[in-house]
Amino acid sequence: MSVFNGLKFRKVYSPIHNLDPRIKFVYVCAVFGVTIIFSEIIPLILLFLLQIPFILIARVQRDWARSMRGAAFLATIIFLTNFLVAFIGSGYLVTPRNLENAVAMTLRFVVLVESFSVFFLTTSPDHLGLALEQTHVPYELVFAFTTAVRFVPVLAEEAQTIMDAQKARGLELERGNFLKRIRNYIPILIPLIISAIRRSLELAEAMESRAWGATKKRTNLYLLRLHNGDVGLIAITILIVAIAVYVRLFVPIPSIYEIWTRLI
């Protein structure tokens, strides 16, 4: 469940938390795009390091580390798949190039998780909903979205309780071969899905009985305005994209192995 924790918002006051979620989202998307256009290891390392100041300023390093740990399993699978395919493709050879490529692909995934995790850790669901509303997304959709985000930790907690209840009836999740282990999760998924459906129906009834959607025109008490920090983040975003595009188009990127051999 640690992946969920990485996406769980905790109220902290920091310059990063106060940034406009719209700008933060654009920034995350920009990082996403830049990550996709590079498959070399050096720019990916730089992108990885680039996020660290944000994490430190936002003081979410502990939650962030937890989400990274949650991503470790998938990262391992990505590494092994890339490495094995290259290993077999190159005629069963372990070359530094293969290894570096596999690490780069893994790093690409890690950077994606890292940036999205920073976004979700520093943006409250309410703030995010406000941002969506002010970009003229229909309120019904905004509400559905913020509710879904808000219920992630609730569901994670419920999943834990269900796991405990089934373990108390002798279920051993780690027992058996790969297929058996997947099947072991059925007694956890079914109650979880059913209770989520039940909860959503109850929520809908409770909302309707409080006249949800009675007025079509909504106003907000809080309005989002751009501050200096937001302008700064826009500048950083444009800079990153510009540099990335320039480097991609005009600068040949050496691999670590090449630099190493040149130095020796």
Partner 1 sequence: MIEAKDVRFTYPSGVEALKGVTVTISEGDFVAIMGQNGAGKTTLVKHFNGLLKPTKGKVLVDGIETTKVSVARLARNVGFVFQNPDHQLFGETVEDEISFGLRNFGFEKTVVGTRVTWALNLLALAQYRKTSPFMLSGGERKRVALASVLAWDPKILILDEPTIGQDYQQKEKLRQFIMQMQTQKRTIIIVTHDVEFVAECNPRVLLMSDGQIIADDEAAQILTNTKVLEQASIVPPQIAQIFLDLPELDLPKHIIDVYEARNLLLNLLGKEKSG
* Residue ranges that bind partner 1, judged by CB under 8 A: 158, 161-162, 164-172, 186-187, 190-191, 194-195, 198
CB 22 within 8 A of CB 229: no
Q: Which of 26/171 has CB closer to partner 1?
A: 171
Question: What is the torsional sign of CA 67, 72, 77, 83?
Answer: positive
Question: In whole angstroms, how close is the CB of 175 to partner 1 at the nearest point?
Answer: 8
Question: In whole angstroms, how close is the CB of 190 to partner 1 at the nearest point?
Answer: 4
Question: In whole angstroms, how close is the CB of 58 to partner 1 at the nearest point?
Answer: 19
Contacts of 148 (CB under 8 A, 6+ apart): none
Distance separating alpha carbons of residues 86 and 56, to the nearest angstrom: 36
Taking the CB of residue 33, how many other CB atoms lie within 10 A of it? 13
Q: Which of 169/217 has CB closer to partner 1?
A: 169
Query: What's the Cα-to-Cα distance from 18 to each of 22, 122, 133, rounded to whole Å?
Result: 11, 8, 18
3-state helix, strand, coil in the chain (%, to 5): 75, 0, 25
Distance separating alpha carbons of residues 113 and 107, to the nearest angstrom: 10
Question: In whole angstroms, how close is the CB of 166 to partner 1 at the nearest point?
Answer: 6
Q: Which of 94/198 has CB closer to partner 1?
A: 198
Q: Which of 148/190 has CB closer to partner 1?
A: 190
Distance separating alpha carbons of residues 212 and 208, to the nearest angstrom: 5
Question: In whole angstroms, how close is the CB of 148 to partner 1 at the nearest point?
Answer: 21
Q: Which of 92/174 has CB closer to partner 1?
A: 174
Question: In whole angstroms, how close is the CB of 64 to partner 1 at the nearest point?
Answer: 16
Q: Which of 1/85 has CB closer to partner 1?
A: 1
Residue 232: what residue type? Answer: G
Distance separating alpha carbons of residues 148 and 48, to the nearest angstrom: 29
253 three-state secondary structure: coil
Question: In whole angstroms, how close is the CB of 69 to partner 1 at the nearest point?
Answer: 12
Q: Which of 169/216 has CB closer to partner 1?
A: 169
